[in-house]
Structure formats: C-alpha cells, structure tokens
Structure 1
Amino acid sequence: MANSSALLSEIRYALVPIPDGRRGAAMPVLASKLVGPAPRAPLVARPRLATMLDVATTRPLTVVTAPAGWGKTTLLSEWARDTRRGPTAWMTIEPGDDSDSLWTHLHASLSAAGAIGGYGRRPVPVPLSVSRRVYLCELATVLADSPVPVRIVLDDLHHLADPDASRDLDFLLRHAEALRLVVAARTEPSLALHRWRLGGELTEIGADDLAFTVAETADALAQHGVDLPAPDVDALRVHTEGWPAGIRLMTRVMCGQADPVQLVDRLTGDQPAIAEYLDREVLACQSPYERDFLLATSVSPRLHGSLADALTGGTDGERILGEFVRRGAFTVEIPGEPGWYRYHPLFAALLRSRLRRASPDRFSELHGRAADWFASHGRSGAALDQALAGRDWHRATAVLFGHWHRIATCPDGPGTGGAAPPPEDVLHAAPELALAYAAHLLSVQDGIGAETFLRLAGAGLNRHRADRGSPARTVYTVLRLALARQEANPAAVEAIARRLLVDVNSGHADHNVRVRAIARTALGAAQLAAGDRGAAERNLVAGAHVADRAFLPCARHACSARLAVLWAGRGELGHAERVAQEVLRAPTCTGRCGADRRAAAYLALATVSFERDRLVDADRYLDLAANQPQHDPFVAAGVATTRIAVHHARADLAAAYDTLRAARRDREAIATAYLRERLTVAEAELRIGCGDTAMARALLQPMLDAVREPPPDLAVILARSYLYDGDHRAAARALPQWADTGAGPLALRLDAGLLAALAAHRGADPRRAGDILERTLELAEPEGFRRPFTRGGQRVRRLLANHLDAGTARWSWVRDLVETGAERAAAAARAPSLVESLTDRELTVLRYLQGTMANSEIAGDLSVSVNTVKTHVRNIYRKLAVTGRRAAVRRARELTLL
C-alpha cells in the first residue's frame, strides 16, 4: 500500500484512453478519489472494529451502513492503510459518478495497489477500450487467479445511482474468487444482498457496531483535554447513542469550558454545532414536504405509519418512514416491534425545538392529535404523555380517569420524559392533574418525582374531602400501589392492596371489578415474595378469575405466570409448563407488564427444565427471564436461586458462588427476609457440595432457632449434610415425612426419599433401601423428574444399578437413568489422568478450594496451621499442573476428583 500511495501521489490527474467509437471524449481520473482521506484530528483507537473487518473480509462481501457521522469512512480508511493486510484498492464515490467513472477509477486504483498489471501477469484492458462485459470477464479472471485476497473498498456507495454499476459489481463478485468487496454507504446498497446473506457470505456492520463505547467516548474526550466523571461520560454516550460525530462535536464545544458537566446535562439537538451538522447532512437532503413531515412527526418518540398520517394529514406515512430508514435519515426501526420507528434522540430534539419556536399552536395541536391516536389504539400511557407534553390539562385528566387501570398497572414503556408540569397553584387546585403527572413520572420510572406529585395530589384530595371510594381516591391509591411495586417494596404493596380491597364496594360495577383484579394480582405477588405461598396461590387464582371478568388480560396473564412458577416449584411440572407456554403464546402486550409476565413464565419453564435434567434449556430460559426488565422480587430471587442450582448440578461451584454474590447485591432479589433466607439456603447447599458441612449447618442455625421444628426444606439439607459426613443415622433422624401426598412439594419429597434410600443403603439395609427407592421413583415418574437421580453422583448411580438388578416395576425408566449416569462416568473416565495421586489430606483441602474460604479459615476448620494448608495447596497445584485455585477445581472435575 505504501508503493500505491506514492504512485497515486504523483498521478494528480490523468486521461484514460477510450475506444475509437467515442473519440473526442475523455475520462479523468482523480488520484484523490483513489485513497482514503487522511485523518484531520487524532483518532480514537478502535481495534474491535478493525478485528471485525479482518474477520469480515474472509467472506466475499462486507457492507457498512450507517447515517452521516458514524465514522464509516474514517474506520475503513485507517483499516485500508495497513499494508500487512494485502493489496487494497480504494475509491470514493461522489454525486454524479456513473458506471464509466466507477470502472475507470477502480481500474486505476487496482493498478496502483498492484492487484492488476505488472510483469508476468495477464493484462487487463483499459475499461473504456472494450465492451463492459469483456472488461469485467478479463478483470474477474485476473482477480480470481490472485494468490492473495484482493480488497476493494468503495466509500459513499449511496451516491452511485447507476443500476448498471450495481449489476456489474455483482457479476465481478460472483466470478472473482479472491475478491473481497467492502462497501460503505448511508443506505443499503442495491447489490443482490439477499443471495450473499442466504449463503452466509455477507457481513453487515451497522450503526450499533460503529457507535462509540463508553471507553471510546472517554478516549475522545481525553484527546481534547476534557475530563468528565465516569457517570457523565456514560450520560454523554446515552444522550448521543454513541454517535461519533455528535460526541466529537460536543468534545470540541467542551474544550476550555469551566464546567463541561453542565453541557452534558443540557445536551439537546439544537446545540449549535450539532444543529448545523444535522442541518447540512440530514435536513438539507430532504424535500420541503419531507422536512415538514419530520417536524410534524417529531412530537412522538415512537412512530407508526398510521400515527404519522394522523399527524400530517397524509396517507404515505409508512412509506416515508421506511424511506427515511433506507436513506439513513437518522431514523431506525424499533427492534421487535414491526411497523414502529423512532428518530435519533438528538435529531428528534432539534425537530421539536424548531417546531415549538416556529408554531407553538401547531406544536400543541399535534400533541393533541398524537394523544387521540394513542388513546384510540390502546396505548393510554403514551396518550397521557402526549396530552401533558402539549399542556392540554383537560385532555390529560380525561385520559387518566378513562384508562387509569392500564396506565397504573401496565405502562406503555418509555414516554416523552419532557412534560413540564404546570405551576404549583394549578396543581393545588386540581389534584387530578397532579395524579396525571405522577402517572407520567411512574411511566418513566422516576419514583422520586412521582412521590412528590402523589403527595400534592393526596393533600388536594384531603382538602376536597374526596371519599375513599371515589374515582380520584381510587386512582391515587392504585398509583401508590404502582410506586410500591416499582420500588420493589412487597410489604408496602401488600398493605396498599389490602386497603384497596377494603375500600372497594362489593358490587359488580366495572370500576370495582377492575380494582379487585389489580389488588388481588398485586397482593398475590407480594405474598410470594414474603414466602406465604398458600395465601399467594389463593389470591392469584382469585385475581385471574376477576381479571377475566374485568377484561384485563394483562392482569390475568400476570397471575397465571406467577402461578406457573409456584406450581413448578411444587413439582407440578406438566401443569406449570402448559400454563407458562400459554402465557408466552398470548398476544404481545405493548406495556411493561408484558416483560413482567414473560420473566415469570420463563422462570417456570427453567424450573421444569432443571428438574427434568435439561440444563441447557434451563440456562436458555433463565437468560430469557433475566433479560426481561421487571420489578418482581420473587422472580428476581427465583432466577438467581435456580441459576445457582443449575451451576451446582454441573458441579461448577465457583460460578454458583459468583451468582450468589451477585444476587445479594440485587436490591430486588433481597427485598424480603424470606428471599434473603432462600439465598442462605442456596449457600448452605453449596457449602455441602464443597465439603464444608459444619458451615452449612451454621448458616441454617438462625432459621432453625426461630422455629419449634425444622421446616421440610431445612430438614432435607441437614440430612444431606449428615449423610455427607457419613452419619446415616443422623441423616435418617433429620429427614421430614415425605411419603404421604400432603408432605410438601414433590421436588422436596423426592430429595428426601432419595436421601432416605441412601441412608438405608449405608446402614446395610438393602431391602428397605430398595422399597424407599421404588416409592421415590413412583412419585417421580409421572412428572418426568430426573434431576435427583441423574445428578446425585456415584452413590445414587450405584443405588439405581443395584435396584435394577433386584427388580423394579419401572425397569425401562431406571435403565435409562442408569445409562445416563454411565455415559457421564464414561465421559469423565476419558479425561486425562494424574501422574501423581493426591493424598487423602490433599483431597480434603481440594474440596475446600471449591468454596470461598480463605487458607486461614480452612486451617481453622481442619485444626492445622496455615502453613500446612499452604503446603497442601502448593502440592495440589503441582500435581494438577495448574497455577490457581479455579484452575485446580476445574482440572479436578475433569479428573472426577470432585
């Protein structure tokens, strides 16, 4: 590339020969079009993107598409300058370029890069001296014979409007095997991308990939001497969505400022530097009609074709929005919501600012139109946001009191966030308006702001002496309930839900039925988080029934999803699976409660998969549940404890402890004493897994001291710890009653039954062990439980094999369980073996290394010195050929030492 750059620097301007039939014309070649532009300022290092391009160019075609200012040219220019990557031909496309210009310049660039021409190579005719097809065939033949890949970079391909050029590029790409074509454009190029995509030979790099990361944003600021605290760097990236040009423009504005943080706080699209850029690069490219369309539709943060038509009075909203996306006009499709679009936040802010200044009356009128459209399409939260943004107080309160049941319990998602409240005296006189602002702030998850307006509303309602059952008082209480749920405060949720149930009349009016449905749903969720599963089940069943009568499908599905979790935990796997799948198949909810119910349904399916020993499926469902934004403490804690159990089943105790620590930092997962106890129980199980049985029992002791008799789940853990210690009599004494139908959740009964069989086997009573195991298998088979048997270790496998030999009514199923265990044992046996065996003491220390105890704690537990423990640890590392604790545990598992 260095030689080609030198050659191009000498060829400032040239005339390319043309065939005799076109004598008198000439095709100029500008060297400036054949090299990427040199950087005009220090560049932010972006090795992740260079690596992405390196990987991408192992395929024939790479397409980089993004609007103006996303760093396409800068990235490709820097990448192409690296001569280690092989010959690279560059061409910058400009407005007015046609097919002749493309091939003339590309020919010159390929020659300069050494990809064509030169001694001993087949010559390629000059583009205009032969027919286009002959030229392309000759060029494709030469490029196909290249011993190394030949890269062609076409920058700003959106300027090339000649359809013949696109067809010619496709032809060349199909027939030149060594060619690697990289194109950059603001719009998707008119190449046959569908064919390359289908064949897996296309790499697409978009605005999301090109966006600055937080680290890259910090680097850009540092290059201009701007020092911002980490939260403000993150805020700048969020405001700009990582738009590189926007970040660079803001860094220049911040240079020399005494307080650059305030510029981040006040950043909008009408900041002069950003406004000028968007004017020239985006708005100037639109027709007058399209510019007016942009202004009119900027009042809504989310756009649909039908909504755009309502705002503009036109009929082509869907077409124009799609065209804006295609042309890179700072418009994107909203992922997962077909037909919905949004503008880049800085672009939208610029448009709104100009609309408000140019025509305040039109600004308010358009917000009113948007509010009416959203209300008529079932998006009442968005309708409220629009009415408030347009400062139409009457419309805002009408929307709230007409749709309070949905606004409070299932907000539509991110709202406008910029609705300025009216003066305080207006709010004092109209508490209903204060309620509207509280509801709006809840929708944008501003709990502090919502609390302020709820206090104003409450004071106003008290002054007006509103009755407890009045609509305004009901809406106030329901909004209080929504705030308590958003703050993950189950105790407050339960108290407010009970108050609602007392206040509501026993009649069957729509209003009262809706209140009961909302209150029962919230009360059941709070009781789950408090550990009162019986009461929770009653309220959730009642809530689902009342929600059906009130035509509140979201509330019904919320109840059903939580019931599925409860039933899965109880061992009713088939029923839980069916209900969870029904919830997920229900029509998609546009509000946040959709995420809430999906998280619970995925958790139920994860529990079912775990108990059936489908750990890969369990992982997948847990990931889906964790990715849903929701505020249900019971679900958050359930996801954590189930993931801990999955890690434990795989004998990955380090990952299990990492999950446990993360859960204890999660405000929602530890919102109640019951949920904190669930995490403690999970830790006790992990302690037993790494041989620390004394610590496991110590963790449980405070809970045991608080009750007269150990609860069944704690009794099972105690029994497991005693059996691990080799005390089968203590294990048998500790076990709860499990054989009877009403003895507790089925999963717990199976664990207890299996422990009882193992204790009997260890006590040399094989007949009793066989009877107990047969009863356990009888309980497990109908629901498809496998986890207790397949993840129970070598002792359980041996017990099952003996039972198979002794005879069982479930011979085929037990054989399948035994074979599964044998396959795992065989896989473990294929692992490499140790050269030097570990001593018994070293094996004991190794078991401790699975946990989190320090060397001093291990020494105290074993009654030896710390130096002795350190010596054992060094010997373990040496014998396992590792250098660290985690590596030792991992290696030991490969060798089945753990």
Structure 2
Amino acid sequence: MEISAEQLRLSKQETIYALGPSIAADEAEAIFEQTEGWPVAVQLARVQKQARPSLPLKAGAPGSLVATYLTEQVLASLDDDVRDFLLAVSILDRFNPELANAVRKRDDSWRLIDCLTHLTALIVPLDIEGDWYRLHHLFAECLLQTLCREAPARMTELRRRASQWYAEKGDIVEAVKYAAAAKDYNKCESLILDAGGWRVILTDGIGVLRRMLRPIPSEVLDASARLLVARAYLHCKDGEQRQARALLEKAKILQCSSNDNAFIRDFRTVESMLHVYEDTEEWVRAWKAVHQNEIDFSAITPLEAGTIKCEEVVAQISVGDFDDAAASLKSAFAYMRQSGSVLGLNYCYLHAGVMALHRGELNIAQANISRALELAENNFGSDSGLKYVASVLDFALSVWKGAATAHDIETFSNALAHVEEYDGWADIYIIGLDAAFHLALQCDQDAFAEQLCARFEAVARHRNLERLENFNDILKYFLELRRSPSKQQERMRERLLSWQATDADGQLGRAWQEYFIGAATLARDARAAFDRVAHAIDRSMDHARRCGANLHLVRLGTAKALLLQRNGMRQESREALTEAIKIASRQEILGPFLCESAMLRIVKAARDFFRTDEGAIIVTDIMADVLARATVLRPPELGQVLSDREQEILEQLAGGKTNKEIARHLELTENTVKFHLKNVFSKLSVNRRTQAIAEARRMNLIE
C-alpha cells in the first residue's frame, strides 16, 4: 500500500486538537496555515507557543521552512546547556545518556534529557526502559543544519567520538558508519581490518561485513588492498566469481612491492575459497602442488587454518578421495571450534554431509545435515544462505532414502533459487540436480526434469562450471533416451562411449561423478554396444568400491541389472540386483531402485524368485519396501496389462532387435516371440512394431 504525502498531513481540526486548549482557536488556525499541517512543524509551534506565547510565527513560509524557523525558535527558548545537548545528539541516529556523554565529553546527559520532557513529540523513546532515544527526523535535520552552520569542525569531532564509543562497545558497523560520516576513512579501514576483514563473514555473517563496507566511497575501497580482498570474498558468497577474481587481481597489483604478511595471508586464504567456487582443473593441480609443500599451520590463525582445510576437503571430494577428505575434515572441525566461528563449523557440517552422502552413510549424512540446518537457523536466521545449501542436501538425502515425494520438489525449487543466486559450489549443484532429476523420474514428471536441466545449464554457464555442465548434458541424454531415437542421442552415445574408453589406468580424477552417471545412463541405451557398456559399468563399480562411494555403487548395480535384463541375461541381472540390494540394505538406500518402471519390474520378479529362499530374507524385505514405496510415488502401472513375458519381449523390441534376436536372447522359438508380439499389438491397439514402441513409451511401459 502506498501512502501519499498528503495523507501524512494533519487536517485543520487535527491540528487544533494537537495544539491543545491552551492555544486560542484563531492562533491554532494560523499555525495550521503556516505549517500546512506537517506534524513536526505543528509540534514545534506548540512548543514555541508554550515557551514564548507572544512571539509570532514566520509569515508566508512553506511548512519545511517553518520547521526550520520553529527549530531555531525552540532552541532560542532553551538554556545554553540544553541547546548544546540537542545540537550534539543531532549527529546520532539514536542515543542513550552514556553515548551522549561520550560525544559531548560531559556527564550530565540524564539530567538534560529530563529537562526535555516537554518535547516528547520530538524526542522519541525507543524502549520501555527509556534507555535509548531518537530525535524526530525532521527536527534532527534542522538541528544538524544549525550545527553545520555554526560549528562544522565540532560536527566532525562529535562523529569521531561516536565512532570511538561504538568501537569500544564492539559495534563495529556503527563505528565505521560514524567514522565514514567524519570522512576519517583510515579509521574505517583500521576498524574493519581489526575486526578481521574478510573473516567477519565467518565470525559474524555476510550481512555484517556488507554493512561495514556500505558507507565507504568506492574510490576509498579501491585504494585498500586488504579491503579489496574482503570485497572479493563477498562477491564469492554472492555467486560473482568473475568480480571476485578481478578484485583479487587488483589487490595483488596494489600490493605487488610489499611484503605485508597480513595481506599475504588474507590473499592466500580468500583465493583458496575462490578456487572452490571456480572449480577448475587448474585449481586441483595448484592445490596439490601447494600442499606438497606443507603449510605451516602454526603460523596462521585457527580460522585461516580451518578455512584452508575446508578447501582441502572440497578438493579431495571433487576427486573422490574420501579417506583423505575425512582426515582433512577432522582437522577443519578442530580449527573452526578453536576459532569460535559458528559459520565455519556450519560449513564443516555441510562438507561432512556431502561426503557421507556419497559414501552411502545416510544416517551420518542425516546427522550432519540436520546439525547444519539447526546452526544456520539459530545463528543466521530463517533466510540464511547456509540454510538453503543444507536444505538442498537434505532434499537429496530424502530422495536416495526413497522418502521424497512430488510435494518435495517445490521445497527444493525454492531452496535452489537462493543457492543459484548466492552461495553455492559445484558439488552442491551436482548433488541437487542429480537428486531432483531422479525424483522427477520416480514421479513420472519428465517435463520438470527437462526444466531442471535447462535451469542448471544456465547456472553452469553463468558460473563457468564445466563439471556441472558435463553432468547436466548426461542427464539430458538420459531424458532423450525416453523418446524416439535421434541424431542427438547418437552423438551423445558416441561421446560417452569414447570417454568411457579413456583413462585406462583407472584414475578418473575430477570426472568420477560424470563417469559414474555416464555409465549408468548408457545402460539405459538399447542401441549402445553391450560389451562396451558392460565394461564401463564394471570399471565404474571397481572405482566406486575403491573410493568407498557406496551410494554410487548401488546406483551402478541397478544399472547393471537393467543392462543384463534387457539383453536376456535374467540370472545375471538378478545377481547384480541382489548385490546392489545387499549394499543398500546397510543404510536403506531405496531411491536408486525407484527411478524406472523397468527397474521395478526386475525387483518384483526377483522378489518372487527369492520368496521361498529363507536365506534371502533381508534381500526380499528390501525389495518389498521398494515396491511398497513405488505405489506411493506412482499410481498402479498400466504395464500390468501385459504379462511379464510380453513385457520382456516389448523391451527387446524397443532395443531394435529382430524376432530372431529376441528369441535367441530369451531362449524362445521365433514363433513364440511372434505369438507374444501379436498379443502385445492387440493390447496396445496397434498394428506395427514402430507403433507398438511409440504407444508403449507414451504409456510409460518402457523407458
């Protein structure tokens, strides 16, 4: 709702009422005409008339000028010490007796405040106890103009004293504000750097550093190398990596001939965090080189050490080195606790959640993510950026536990909007995209999955995140496989198959997540060569076992089961599924089994096969949980109109196989295949093989 200036003015009757019965009606009407009903001018007129009834108002002046005139008249009616008090506190947005004493270098402010009780409309109490006050803004403005006119040098000194008082109280934001108002920019710089510079973000939050820097002119900020570094970190948190890099380069040029150890430490630490956000191959190589020459952590602060250790954790996770990441994270926790940085601890819990999620330790992931959410909410508010990052991880955890539903997609989208815009890094985006994409498949929401890919493509390009872009391309290929064959599928298939054939030494490096999802996606491509895909999956599973990425091992196991089933190797498919379920059962990782109808059919068939096997009770219980969960996510499937054999033949048909090839894969005669196809065509109301495939895809009978 918009309130106009006219609505803020008093009417004639309201003015007469506000002036009170001690002022005659004709005088009250004259005051209304002169003040134009502006409340502060009316109140000033009332004060003047009470103090000096015979003094006439200034004729013919507009309301704002009347306010200035009346302020002068009110001041003229006051004792010198009271007048001096009002002029001194006019530089303050708010004041209490202690602050007023400090700026005036007097100890009588309580007494003077008591002397001004008749100015209650102009001196406003801010709390019930009456400790803090402020001047009415228009009254303060008039007083400030008077002070500037009468004693400009004193105004500057008063502001310096206010800055000093706030600094002693530990309120650096206010201290910087008053130092900037006094144009004492050297003081501003020293206040911010003494408070920690960029470290303020980790000790007090992003908003505090932002408010510290706000009153300082840009040309002053650009002349301070260490403030440039602090601003660079702010840009990191705002998702503006290019701007952050530019500021660091400018700071390096400013400081090129100096051996200022404080600057060197600031620069090194902030650049290490910028590397995390930039997520480049060069970063990992540089990080390895730097850490081969071990950093002397005893020569830096615990906060700096904890920050560098957090960078180390992210770098190690990015190459799938979870054992070393666990050791680094333990050190990071210790340093952050020693530093007292709640924000730093929050990041440690987030990194711990990421690592546990990859390792399939869902209970540990839940504990760390919940702690991160709690810390963010309690210490940084409901709109905290860290809360949104933790919410993305919490959502992913829910998906892989098999506990998420379509209703959770909106919650995720809201959290993602903030992480897209502000504090997010490659691993968070990949985890969020991966989980949301697969939940969309679980809920048969291909349209949302497509929108999601478009959204993350924009993030990857805006932030120049190559890993995210590659991962997103693979998921787009996954979606393409659910449609009719196309040239785009063919190009992506060849790209992935060629890529999977590289790195024969088994060192996947930073591409490990793309490699895993690429192998799993190829398993869904009926036109990809079986031998090449099977080799890629086996190699990926070996790597997942070596690095302990059990969540991914389960997902690769389900992909292997799908690949073998589609190629008529039912016993081998069942064995692959059983192995995946045994790993999943340790932490109830149900999500990977819920993504596709074909996977659910394999689970159902395996459950029926093992039903009478007493030794397989754990496996069959997990299978039953998966199938029960699937009924919540999806309505009863139309695929149930086909028999299991008809479904198998339909899937082979979709893979481009001839009747003879289908018969060979399923160990049937060619005539039996033709018989089942005739039934499939009848049930789908089609006459040709291509029509059957198209209709089956429309009905979600095949992927």
> Considering the TM-score relative to the shorter chain, is it more than 0.5?
yes
Report the CA distance between 1:783 and its aligned residue. Answer: 1.4
Give per-residue Cα distances to partners, 1:115-155, cap 9 Å, x unaligned.
Answer: xxxxxxxxxxxxxxxxxxxxxxxxxxxxxxxxxxxxxxxxx
Q: Confirm or deny that 1:506 pairs with 2:310.
A: no
Is contact 1:790–1:797 with CA below 8 Å preserved after alignment?
no
Which of 342, 361, 366 is the equivalent residue of 1:553? Answer: 342
Query: Structure 1 residue 651 and structure 2 residue 438: aligned?
Result: no
Does structure 1 conserve the Cα–Cα contact (< 8 Å) formed by 2:376 and 2:387?
Answer: no
> 1:620 Cα deviation (Å)?
2.1
In the alignment, structure 1 residue 520 sits paired with structure 2 residue 316 = no
In structure 1, what is the Cα distance between the partners aligned to 2:568 and 2:249?
70
1: CA distance, partners of 2:271 / 2:142: 34
Asked if 1:806 is matched to 2:595, the reply is no
Deviation at 1:689, TM superposition (A): 3.2
User: CA 1:764–1:618 in 2, change beyond 3 Å: closer, same or farther?
Assistant: same
1:475 to 235, 245, 266: 266
2:397 counterpart SS class: helix
Structure-2 change in CA distance of 1:722 and 1:890 (3 Å): closer
Compared with structure 1, are the counterparts of its residues 549 and 771 closer, same or farther at alpha carbon in structure 2 (3 Å cutoff)?
Answer: same
SS at 1:783's partner residue?
Answer: coil
Residues 727 and 527 of structure 1: is their aligned pair in 2 closer, same or farther, counting only changes over 3 Å? closer
State the partner residue of 1:564.
Answer: 353
The one of 546, 559, 566 equivalent to 1:755 is 559
**Matches of 1:292 and 1:607 in 2, distance apart?**
59
Q: CA deviation at 1:777?
A: 1.7
Please say if 1:412 is aligned against 2:220: no
SS in structure 1 of the partner of residue 432 of structure 2: helix
Whole-Å separation in 2 of the counterparts to 1:779 and 1:305: 68
Seen in structure 2, the aligned counterparts of structure 1 residues 375 and 546 have a Cα distance that, compared at 3 Å, is farther
1:819 to 618, 623, 628: 628
Q: Give how far 1:805 is off.
A: 4.8
How do residues 70-81 of structure 1 correspond to structure 2 at under 5 angstroms? Answer: none
CA displacement 1:296-320 (0-9 Å, x = unmatched): 5549xxx9999999999889x9xxx
| CA-atom RMSD in angstroms | 5.9
Deviates more, 1:441-450 or 1:694-703: 441-450
SS of the aligned residue for 1:517 comes to helix
CA distance in 2, matches of 1:504, 1:305: 54
1:290-309 aligned at under 5 Å gives the runs: 296=91, 298=93
On the 8 A contact 1:389/1:416 being kept in 2, the answer is: no
- Is this contact kept in 2: 1:297–1:311, CA < 8 A? no
- 1:736 pairs, out of 531, 538, 545, with 538
The amino acid of 2:370's aligned partner reads Q
Say which structure, 1 or 2, has more relative contact order (CA 8 Å, 6+ apart): 2
Contact 2:385 2:418 in 1 (8 A): no
Partner of 1:866: none
Report the counterpart of residue 439 of structure 1 in structure 2.
230
1:624-635 correspondence to structure 2 within 5 Å: 624-628=415-419, 629-635=422-428
Taking structure 1 as the reference length, the TM-score comes to: 0.49
Distance 2:140 2:696 in 1: 60
Distance 2:226 2:464 in 1: 27
Give 1:549 shift: 2.7
Aligned length: 546
Measure how far apart 1:582 and its partner are.
0.9
Mapping for residues 662-741 of structure 1, pairs under 5 Å:
662-666=455-459, 671-690=464-483, 692=485, 693-701=489-497, 703-704=499-500, 706-708=502-504, 714=515, 717-718=518-519, 720-722=521-523, 724-725=525-526, 729-730=530-531, 732-736=534-538, 738=541, 741=545
Contact persistence 1:757–1:770 (CA under 8 A): yes
Unaligned runs of 5+ in 1: 1-65, 74-91, 99-185, 187-274, 318-323, 332-342, 832-839, 848-878, 880-888
Work out whether residues 664 and 670 of structure 1, in 8 Å CA contact, stay in contact via their aligned partners in 2. Answer: no
Provide, for residues 505-528 of structure 1, a one-character-per-residue CA deviation record: whole Å limited to 9, x for no partner. 73646x443322222223434565
Amino acid at match of 1:809: I
CA distance in 1 between counterparts of 2:502 and 2:547 reads: 21
How many angstroms does 1:644 deviate by? Answer: 3.0
Structure-2 change in CA distance of 1:751 and 1:524 (3 Å): closer
Question: In the TM superposition, what whole-angstrom CA distance separates every residue of 1:353-385 from its partner, at most 9, and x where no partner exists?
Answer: 9858844554664476467547855x6567556
How far apart are 1:818 and its partner, in Å?
Answer: 2.5
Alpha-carbon distance between aligned partners in 2 of 1:390 and 1:493, rounded to the nearest angstrom = 43
On the 8 A contact 1:370/1:383 being kept in 2, the answer is yes
Shift of 1:349: 12
AA of the residue aligned to 2:503 = V
Instruction: Name the stretch that deviates more: 753-762 or 575-584.
Output: 753-762
Q: How far, CA to CA, are the matches of 1:698 and 1:93 in structure 2?
A: 83
Offset of residue 436 of structure 1: 3.8
- Contact 2:400–2:589 under 8 Å retained in 1: yes
User: Deviation at 1:400?
Assistant: 0.7
Structure 2 letter corresponding to 1:548: R
Aligned residue among 350, 356, 367 for 1:578: 367
Residue 777 of structure 1: aligned partner: 581
Distance 1:498 1:471 in 2: 24
Contact 1:530 1:674 in 2 (8 A): no
Q: How many angstroms does 1:554 deviate by?
A: 2.0
Amino acid at match of 2:452: T
The aligned amino acid for 1:814 is M
Q: Does the CA contact (< 8 Å) of 2:159 and 2:179 recur in 1?
A: no
Report the 3-state secondary structure (helix = DSSP H, G, I; strand = E; otherwise coil) of the residue aligned with 1:666: helix
Task: Mark the runs of 5 or more structure 2 residues left unpaired by the alignment.
Answer: 18-38, 40-61, 76-81, 114-119, 127-133, 641-648, 657-684, 686-693
Question: Structure 1 residues 640, 297: CA separation in 2 closer, same or farther (over 3 Å shift)?
Answer: farther
